[in-house]
Structure 1
């Protein structure tokens, strides 16, 4: 995004980048549909699905889950391209040093997403499923899981938690663009804590231990974001000071 470009030129560039993203998604969707069966078989072979017989309650259950897996794999494969296109759109408004710094956010964001995905599946999802199974057994209910309901329940936990782990990268990028500042993040701390605890309460079983297991890592992520925002802000100020002295 060049500061000297007209509005029409900005819109034209944005359109080209969106087309790149959509074209990548179509290619990744074809690949995702090809890999969907393998991903489905893998998730069925490991706990907790390995211990649960899954059933199809409608003729479309298998098709729906298969398509879900294909689209999710396509979205995951497209994410690096989306991040690069966002960076490329804004890069002309950044200094050379800032461009080099922000391009590093792309591999970091992918790493954090994968860490969040692992945390969501092996900690949050397993806790939530254990809680629901325990309640069902106490109520003397026979558990019969539909394949659609099981994987929808899983994805409704995995995707939000994985995206929350992107918080440090988002904050660093917004700090580079001067949209947020460390001081503002510090002032918002109590509201952020409340929001993160609320999210942890919503996506976990209603007991204190489970809530804390999820809320504490989210709060730590916020504090890491504040720290990184401060580091980025100090670098920006130091760079501006050197530029002023040079003039």
Structure 2
């Protein structure tokens, strides 16, 4: 950020970029609504029963939720670009070029996280739950229950998949150092475990299956931070 700008000017610029992101999300949300039925059919294609609705509001809720998540994924590059533009006045030309490359990475990491959780974590947990219940209970899924469970499991994982790119970005700017990530490991683990319990559905298996990728992503982030920092030192750009 430009140090010559006043706090008011910084806040005004931040507000403008926030509004741009909000408008972008709204546009993508409306666009996603056009395909929400197709997305819905894909998400329930492996179910051997139709979902039950308990009120007309369930239909509206699930359509809005699906469109919102699709819009979030599509808005990520725009949000990343606005953050990058907000910070560019404080960057060198080399830093601008290097950090700009992280923007598409954030989008693809979010999609990878969604795919990982939807195709691996979610069916694993669903299969385990069905095996526990099928001998004693009649299994019937409601729209709100099924999709709330799905979204609470998949979306947090997709978001935390952004951690490596964010860590690389901050390391590249000299804001974050691999030494700090190592020293903060036990505190980070505690926070990640806490997040997994809060964000995941209320069952032990979901917690465990969310904790493991979170910890793995943190360790990967440390390795990537070390690599970026080493490249900076080699180029004489280290902030240490």
Which of the five TM-score ranges fits, normalised by the shorter chain? 0.7 to 0.9
Q: Hey, what does 2:226 align to over in structure 1?
A: 230
Give the TM-score of the pair, scaled to structure 1.
0.85
Q: Which residue, out of 69, 75, 87, partners 2:72? A: 75
Give unmatched runs, 5+ long, in structure 2.
Answer: none
Q: How far off is 1:19 after superposition?
A: 1.9
Q: Which of the two has higher C-alpha Rg?
A: 1
Q: Hey, what does 2:215 align to over in structure 1?
A: 219
Distance of 1:152 and 1:84 partners within structure 2: 30
Output one character per residue of 1:97-130: Cα deviation in whole Å (capped at 9) or x when no partner. 1111111111111111111111111111112212
Matching of residue 129 in structure 1 with residue 155 in structure 2: no
Q: How far off is 1:92 after superposition?
A: 1.2
Q: Which residue, out of 178, 183, 199, partners 2:179? A: 183
Q: Hey, what does 2:83 align to over in structure 1?
A: 86
Q: How far off is 1:224 after superposition?
A: 1.8
Distance of 1:241 and 1:141 partners within structure 2: 63
Cα distance 1:65–1:23, how it changes in 2: closer, same or farther (>3 A)? same
Give unmatched runs, 5+ long, in structure 1.
Answer: none
Q: Which residue, out of 203, 206, 214, partners 2:204? A: 206
Counterpart contact for 2:95–2:173, Cα < 8 Å: no
Give the TM-score of the pair, scaled to structure 2.
0.87
Output one character per residue of 1:159-208: Cα deviation in whole Å (capped at 9) or x when no partner. 11111111101111222343321111111223334544566677486369
Q: Hey, what does 2:12 align to over in structure 1?
A: 12
Range that drifts further, 105-114 or 3-12: 3-12
Counterpart contact for 2:164–2:218, Cα < 8 Å: yes
Q: How far off is 1:62 after superposition?
A: 1.0
Q: How far off is 1:236 after superposition?
A: 3.6
Matching of residue 57 in structure 1 with residue 54 in structure 2: yes
Structure 1 residue matching 2:55: 3-state secondary structure: coil
Distance of 1:207 and 1:217 partners within structure 2: 13
Structure 2 residue matching 1:4: 3-state secondary structure: coil
Q: Hey, what does 2:157 align to over in structure 1?
A: 161
Q: How far off is 1:3 after superposition?
A: 2.1
What is the RMSD of the two structures over their aligned residues, measured on CA atoms? 2.5
Q: Which residue, out of 137, 140, 151, partners 1:144? A: 140
Distance of 1:124 and 1:195 partners within structure 2: 21
Structure 2 residue matching 1:55: 3-state secondary structure: coil
